[in-house]
Amino acid sequence: MFTGDETGKRVIKGLYTLGLSNKEEGVNRKDGLEIKEVYLTNAVKCAPPGNKPTKEGVNNCLPFLKMEIKSLKRLKVIIVLGEVAFNSVLSIYGMKAKLYHGVIVKLPDNKVLIGSYHRSPDGDSLLNHRSSGSQRRHSSPLTAASPSLSPESS
């Protein structure tokens, strides 16, 4: 999902640093990038106009996100980047919570949701952004991480 964009470059580089990727960057589907024990997806499946998802767009994508989460039989932790992804996962579980960086929410099925701000592709640092008192509210990739995340049948 992240191949080729600025957020993806940061995510893949972070996974590489943690030993969860064989390369520091993904450029295209055929570049040989392999990610281990991590499943990446987006809460919003299409690029909305101006990169600002509408409520309708988010709601249209929820069934797909729900199917993805359900298909990951060994999923234990869901890490989300941004408010859209955070609220999308919570809505699947019929829950509400306030997003702040590092928030941990125990989900009804014993999975853990960890919230994080979504760093803007324009390169702003979260530290500078947080110190200004504002919060990121961009289209939000969802990163679901757990030991062994390829979809499996029951």
pTM: 0.72
Q: Look at residue 106 in the predicted model and tell me its pLDDT.
A: 97
Q: Look at residue 120 in the predicted model and tell me its pLDDT.
A: 63
Q: In the chain, where are the structural domains located? A: 1-36, 40-145
The domain covering 40-145 belongs, at the CATH homologous superfamily level, to Uracil-DNA glycosylase-like domain (3.40.470.10)
Q: Look at residue 51 in the predicted model and tell me its pLDDT.
A: 78
Residue 126 and residue 17 in contact, taking contact as beta carbons nearer than 8 Å: no
Residue 69 and residue 89 in contact, taking contact as beta carbons nearer than 8 Å: yes
Tens of pLDDT, residue by residue, the chain (154 residues): 444 467 778 888 889 999 999 999 888 889 999 999 899 888 988 878 887 889 999 999 999 999 999 999 999 999 998 999 999 999 999 999 999 999 999 999 999 999 998 876 655 444 334 433 433 333 334 444 433 343 443 3
Q: Look at residue 3 in the predicted model and tell me its pLDDT.
A: 45
Q: Look at residue 96 in the predicted model and tell me its pLDDT.
A: 96
Q: Give one DSSP letter per residue of 86-122, joined into a string.
A: HHHHHHHTT------TT-EEE-TTS-EEEEEPPPPTT
Amino acid making up residue 50: G
